[in-house]
Amino acid sequence: MIWILLHYAIVLACVMRILLRPHRDPAARAAWVLTTLPVPVVGVLAYLLFGETSIGRRRIERLRRIEELLPDAARFPAEEAGAGASPRVDALFRVGASISGFEPCPGNSAELMADSDAAVDAIVADIDAATDHVHLMFYIWVADTNGRKVAEALMRAAQRGVACRAMADDIGSRRLIRSALWTEMKSAGVHLASAYRVGNPLLRIFDGRIDLRNHRKIVVIDGRVTYCGSQNCADPAFVQKAKYAPWVDIMLRIEGPVVQQAQRVFAADWMEAVDEDLSGAVATETAPIPNGWPAQVVATGPSVRASAMPEMFTSLIFAAREELVVTTPYYVPTEGIQSALCAAAYRGVKVTVVFPARNDSLFVGATSRSYYAGLLASGVEIREYLPGLLHSKTLVVDSKIALIGSANMDRRSFDLNYENNILLVHRQTCRDIRQRQDTYMAETRVVTPEEVASWSLPRRLWQNAVAMIGPIL
């Protein structure tokens, strides 16, 4: 009887925690309660391991100390930064500033890389031209052709006296971190770090969730150039999941003051993993480029306020007046994002969303399709990319405003991953990204309402059942 009472007390305490935990949307609460009650032992254990977005007390304290050490990124007078250009642009930049504390900065320029291989070649060329430092962070870094190109460029730079710091996620890049190439880079003088080291999994769970990951892709060279986009340091063939290849990504090479904001994001990540003060590198300001345009880094993660990334996405969607084009490989939206896309189409905005036809995640692919009927009913055009896995994360508003970076429209990006994105306002750069979206759409199939209505009963049951637990995936 005592054990039975203890069992029910533990289950009741878990359910109460689910219901009382702050910043949890109702769908997530319902999903966890429905998971816990039918199978209490498994449900309670799953919630203890994965239900709380806990980064650990020690890490919180460490991040607090890092924030105190690092100087603020440069600030510019409102008229220089692009404020006042239009109410909707000002509002978007205010949302971005409220997330990661960066104000918009003027005088930036960018070049859209032709493809993944061209992006790696450009990164290697910039590393070869570096004179002071090279800072890199990749969620996935593979010891393939492109991964080795970057590693070899770092080793060359380190050997000529350039301070090279390279970081990779401990889970996303686990093969590289345990490879001979990693050891070779270290021997050549490249300073290396693993982001969010797992260590002993049994002990690690007591210091925050084990599946909190650094999903960012950041390159900063000499404080004058940064790269931002969806691309990991790997070949398009992507050996880990070659059956979905080619992986199609997008990358911008950017110069101007926004580089300092990317530098600060990298510095905070590095200092969290390594006992080294990079405040001096952050303090070095980059002068605005004549005739440049305003941009802002929007960096999110579990240590930023809840729902930061969904707020940025919904704000951009509501800002659209004529056209909105979104590409994302993973779509497990909040109710707000789904409603915002539908509302945009209802008010006359031409909304197009492009997903990969084949998703490397069975559950996410099924969950995404559970939302198709609602999107199509509102007039959203859905296209599925056929040649490979479209991994680009882009959102373009009226060919004037764009968000590009590492964040997906899914719960993992919203709640568990550290992401890095850049919000920019410039007609030509946005048109370049928009044209790239057109090249994707040229190799897509249009999903029709009739097709979705014809899906079999078992298929719809599977998709909707998986979507029910989407908030806890």
Tokens of 266: 């990298």
Tell me the C-alpha distance between 245 and 388, whole Å.
5
Query: Catalytic residue positions?
Result: 215, 217, 222, 391, 393, 398
Token pair 């104000």 in the structure block, residue? 103
Helix (H) or strand (E) holding 291: none
- Please compute, for residue 246, the number of CA atoms within 13 A of its CA located in the half-sphere on the CB side: 12
CB 220 within 8 A of CB 263: yes
pLDDT tens series, the chain, 473 aa: 777 677 667 777 777 877 777 666 676 777 777 777 777 777 777 776 666 666 667 777 888 888 888 888 877 776 666 655 688 999 999 999 999 999 999 999 999 999 999 999 999 999 999 999 999 999 999 999 999 999 999 999 999 999 999 999 999 999 999 999 999 999 999 999 999 887 666 555 556 666 788 999 999 999 999 999 999 999 999 888 889 999 999 999 999 999 999 999 999 999 999 989 998 888 888 889 999 999 999 999 988 887 899 999 999 999 999 999 999 999 999 999 999 999 999 999 999 999 999 999 999 999 999 999 999 999 999 999 999 999 999 999 999 999 999 999 998 899 889 999 999 999 999 999 999 999 999 999 999 999 999 999 999 999 988 887 766 65
- What's the rounded Cα separation, in Å, for the pair 284 and 305? 28
> Which residues, including other chains, have CB under 8 Å from residue 376's CB and lie 6 or more apart?
382, 447, 448, 449, 452
The whole model's pTM is what? Answer: 0.90
